Structure 1
Amino acid sequence: MKETYGEMEIDEARLAAADPDGLYLFMLEQYPYMMTPDNVAAFTGTTGQEIRKLLNKGEMQGCRIGIRWLIPKLGLLNYLYKDRREKKGDTYAATEMRQAIQP
């Protein structure tokens, strides 16, 4: 089944590749593809303010629209697996966000 976000299809294979252990995707099903800092905070057990700090520092991938941050699921998965990728020598952007949504 292809999931869509607006008029665009979400690349499920890229999301699955970003979660190689399959630990997070099934838990993220209830969340929209583009998550707010409060969505991410609820998922991770932190606060929206902590998530915004990570976004402002560039430690988590997201996009800012005006004063509002949006974090794609792929950006969250990249953050959650960041330490593992760095230990293996992969780059942080190995699974690029812009390729997660196919027009």
Structure 2
Amino acid sequence: MWDIFFSDEARLAAADPDGLYLFMLEDYPYLMTPDHVAAFTGTTGQEIRKLLGRGEMQGCRIGIRRLVPKLGLLNYLYKGRREKEGDANEEAPLRQAL
């Protein structure tokens, strides 16, 4: 079990290479609601749900609830930078849980 925790921590650190966001996300749960993400980014929950619906932000749906893992948010925040720099900073993959 601890291996999973440490590998997730490594993925999060790799997704935030500049260390700009992880310390600010410490008080948020790993799986955030659109409202959590909206509070963090200064947007609205509705805008976050639109991003999720268009596939621009990684997330999942559990019943009627949409959730965004911290890794999905970090990938979104660094997306423009990664596109400019090319494959050198490939998007950190989300692990699929069954």
Q: Into which bin does the TM-score normalised by the smaller protein fall?
A: 0.7 to 0.9
1:78 and 1:92 in contact (8 A); partners too: no
1:56 matched to 2:49? The reply is no
Match of 1:74, SS state, is helix
Match of 2:19, SS state, is coil
Which letter maps to 1:19? D
- Give percent identity, aligned residues only: 78
Task: From the two aligned structures, give the one with the greater helix fraction.
Answer: 2
Q: Which runs of 4+ in 1 moved over 6 A?
A: none
Instruction: Tell me the matched-pair count.
Output: 95
1:84 matched to 2:81? The reply is yes
Instruction: After superposition, give the CA deviation of every residue in 1:19-54 in whole Å (9 maximum; x if it has no partner).
Output: 011000000000000000000000000000000000
Structure-2 residue corresponding to 1:5: none
Q: Distance in 2 between matches of 1:17 and 1:90?
A: 14
Bigger relative CO (Cα 8 Å, ≥ 6 apart): 1
Q: Distance in 2 between matches of 1:86 and 1:77?
A: 14
- Residue 66 of structure 1 and its aligned partner are, at CA, apart by 1.6
Q: Which consecutive residues of structure 1, in runs of 5 or more, have no partner in the other structure? A: 3-7
Task: From the two aligned structures, give the one with the greater strand fraction.
Answer: 1
- Normalising by the residue count of structure 1, what TM-score does the alignment of the two structures yield? 0.83
